[in-house]
Amino acid sequence: MRATAEVVICGAGIAGVAAAYHLAVRGAIRDVMLVDERPPLSLTSDKSTECYRNWWPGPGDAMVAVMNRSIDLLEDLARESHNAFRLNRRGYLFATAEPTTLSRFRRAAGEAAALGAGPLRVHATASSDYAPAPADGFEDQPTGADLITDPDLIRRHFPYLATDTVGALHVRRCGWFSGQQLGMYLLERARERGVRLLEGRVERVETAGGRVRGVVVETPDGSGTISTPRFVIAVGPFLRHVAGLLGVELPVFSERHVKIAFSDGVGAIPRDAPMLIWADPVRLPWSEEERAELASSDAHRELLDELPAGVHGRPEGGPGSATVLLLWNYDLRPVEPTFPLEFDPIYPELVIRGMARMIPGLSAYLVRLPRCVVDGGYYAKTRENRFLAGPLPVEGAYVIGALSGYGLMASNGAADLLADYICARPLPRYAPAFRFDRYQDPGYAKLLEQWGETGQF
Ligand SMILES: Cc1cc2nc3c(=O)[nH]c(=O)nc-3n(C[C@H](O)[C@H](O)[C@H](O)COP(=O)(O)OP(=O)(O)OC[C@H]3O[C@@H](n4cnc5c(N)ncnc54)[C@H](O)[C@@H]3O)c2cc1C
């Protein structure tokens, strides 16, 4: 095989597919080759919970600004496709039973408002005008957040929450969509504009005079070279490896994240619920016998301790579906990405127990666990949890990745930014926050040392 392309994109996950779309459909670069050794969208991008939010911490407003841009693009795509990927705007509902957490909610909402996520509305009486979100659609909805502190109002709108819930923060420019359908929509539009998809593994990148010249690909029909002046790395958990082919060391690592899906036959989570997140740490109520068993297990002893806040879940699927998704990833030590992933057999029970703290109706499943589908993947991340989109030190080489736990929601914003570089368009104000060379800036290195919240839960 001997071929040419104006741009070769390595990786057809959501990042690579969105990059191809933004170059060929919204930009004017038609001669794009997408190379992937796997079927498109099949490694990490189909393991996601498929949620989105414009609710991100600082420092600075770059993260909120790029997410607002990405969600604007998602909404445009939803409008033009007659909502082919079922974008909703149900919001994220953070709930707490700790009165002290209310001030944290207020602080976070104040910060988010200052960064551009929208205003905070506080509902402290039962007659307050809190407006719940519709189950479907995304138009004409508020931004910002509603903080509900009146117990009757909480009970009226969210009767399925634990009765000791003292506050609920409903963040509004958030929801979910079908990531697979979004990805296929982007890929089809890109292919209509001439983007080619090649099955193969990128083995080498050829350079001359400090510039990209070609990409060597191992395909099922043998090895071949694609001559190209531009190479985009969009390889999810393999960023370090593929950037290494260019002699570039990317400051990224991987965390393992797992989710479960099961049929909620008892209807513990209503079908029109928003994304539900318990904001308090949880100490699980084990029996004496279970405690003794866990105490004697090196792998599971820590389950007796208080486990971190952030267990979350949501209903999944349209009419007729009873599926719910739940996640609680508390072991976030960096790992080498290996496939297939292995799952701890105790995880489904653990996550149901954790979520039952927020939704007591889920306790019905602790008598006899439901049949769960367990899957997951790796968050490829930078230490401050901000992605990479832009040029690399080798001329003609670019990266779009380290999209962590937000790659579906951010991929349009990141790909639009990447296309700004490649199509030589003016760059948005937030561009420097996502460049690889930010790590060379001594001011940024200082900022990194004091970095607080990363916006992950
Ligand atoms: C459990 C879980 C829940 C999540 N929930 C959310 C959520 O609610 N919202 C959200 O926005 N995001 C979520 N995410 C994150 C999101 O799924 C990822 O950020 C996103 O899928 C990353 O996409 P990607 O294209 O960068 O990587 P990938 O989807 O991994 O794609 C990379 C592609 O590169 C290919 N590749 C690698 N090396 C080579 C090579 N040498 N040659 C050819 N091809 C190569 C691979 O085959 C693969 O297809 C979640 C992730 C997980 C694991």
Q: How far apart are CA 77 and CA 97, in angstroms?
A: 39
Q: Which ligand 1 atom is at minimum distance from the Cα of 375?
A: 1
Q: Atom 38, ligand 1: which residue's CA is nearest?
A: 235
| Residue 208 CA to ligand 1 centre (angstroms) | 31
Q: Is 349 helix (H, G, I), strand (E, B) or coil?
A: helix
Looking at residue 99, its pLDDT comes to 97
| Residue 258 CA to ligand 1 centre (angstroms) | 13
**Residue 98 scores a pLDDT above 90:** yes
pLDDT in tens, 237-296: 999 999 999 999 999 999 999 999 999 999 999 999 999 999 999 999 898 999 999 999
pLDDT in tens, 208-240: 999 999 999 999 999 999 999 999 999 999 999
Mean pLDDT of the chain: 96
**Cis amide linkage into residue 59, ω under 30° from 0:** yes
pLDDT in tens, 35-60: 999 999 999 999 999 999 999 999 99
User: CA angle at residue 376 from 87 to 165, to 5 degrees?
Assistant: 65
pLDDT in tens, 338-396: 999 999 999 999 999 999 999 999 999 999 999 999 999 999 999 999 999 999 999 99
Site of tokens 């301790």: 305
CA 334 to chain centre: 17
Residue 2 pLDDT level (bands cut at 50, 70, 90): low
**Residue 66 scores a pLDDT above 80:** yes
Contact 170, 142 (CB under 8 A): no
**Which DSSP string do the residues of 41-70 spell out, in sequence order?**
T-SSTTSS--EEE-----SSSHHHHHHHHH
**Which DSSP string do the residues of 172-209 spell out, in sequence order?**
-SEEE--HHHHHHHHHHHHHHTT-EEEE-EEEEEEEET
Q: Atom 35, ligand 1: which residue's CA is nearest?
A: 11
Q: Is 389 helix (H, G, I), strand (E, B) or coil?
A: strand
Q: Is the dihedral of CA 369, 373, 379, 385 positive or negative?
A: negative
Looking at residue 1, its pLDDT comes to 64
Q: Which ligand 1 atom is at minimum distance from the Cα of 14?
A: 25
For the beta carbon of residue 122, count every other beta carbon within 10 angstroms: 17
**Residue 298 scores a pLDDT above 90:** no
Looking at residue 456, its pLDDT comes to 83
Q: Which ligand 1 atom is at minimum distance from the Cα of 404?
A: 19
Kind of pairing between the strands at 222-227 and 2-4: parallel
pTM of the model: 0.97
| Residue 14 CA to ligand 1 centre (angstroms) | 7
Looking at residue 30, its pLDDT comes to 86
Q: Which ligand 1 atom is at minimum distance from the Cα of 201?
A: 42
Q: Atom 4, ligand 1: which residue's CA is nearest?
A: 48
Q: How far apart are CA 280 and CA 357, in angstroms?
A: 10
Q: Which ligand 1 atom is at minimum distance from the Cα of 235?
A: 34
Of 41, 43, 332, the one to substitute when testing ligand 1's pocket (max ligand atoms within 8 A of C-beta) is: 43
Q: What phi and psi values does residue 135 have, to the nearest 5 degrees? A: -70, -35
CA 99 to chain centre: 29
- Mean pLDDT score, 430-453: 96
The token duo for 191 is: 């292919």
Residues above pLDDT 70, as percent of the chain: 100
Site of tokens 């049949």: 371
Of 9, 34, 42, 45, the one to substitute when testing ligand 1's pocket (max ligand atoms within 8 A of C-beta) is: 45
Residues above pLDDT 90, as percent of the chain: 95
Give the residue from 176, 188, 231 showing the smallest Cα distance to 17.
Answer: 188
The token duo for 207 is: 């350079």
Consecutive H or E run containing 148: strand 145-148
Q: Is 14 helix (H, G, I), strand (E, B) or coil?
A: helix
Q: Taking the C-alpha atoms of 289, 291, 296 and 302 in order, what is their torsion angle to the nearest 10 degrees?
A: 160
- Mean pLDDT score, 300-312: 94
Q: Is 143 helix (H, G, I), strand (E, B) or coil?
A: coil
**Residue 304 scores a pLDDT above 80:** yes
| Residue 242 CA to ligand 1 centre (angstroms) | 15
Q: How far apart are CA 347 and CA 420, in angstroms?
A: 42
Q: Atom 22, ligand 1: which residue's CA is nearest?
A: 407
For the beta carbon of residue 369, count every other beta carbon within 10 angstroms: 11
Residues with CB under 6 A from ligand 1: 10-16, 35-38, 43-45, 47-52, 201-202, 234-238, 242, 257, 259, 376-377, 401, 403-409
| Residue 13 CA to ligand 1 centre (angstroms) | 6
From the number of C-beta atoms within 10 Å of its C-beta (0-12, 13-18, 19+), residue 300 rates as middle
pLDDT in tens, 131-183: 999 999 999 999 999 999 999 999 999 999 999 999 999 999 999 999 999 99
Contact 219, 203 (CB under 8 A): no
| Residue 155 CA to ligand 1 centre (angstroms) | 38
Looking at residue 428, its pLDDT comes to 98
| Residue 142 CA to ligand 1 centre (angstroms) | 30
Q: Atom 2, ligand 1: which residue's CA is nearest?
A: 48
Q: Which ligand 1 atom is at minimum distance from the Cα of 203?
A: 41
Q: How far apart are CA 408 and CA 87, in angstroms?
A: 12
| Residue 419 CA to ligand 1 centre (angstroms) | 19
Q: Which ligand 1 atom is at minimum distance from the Cα of 38?
A: 47
Contact 106, 169 (CB under 8 A): no
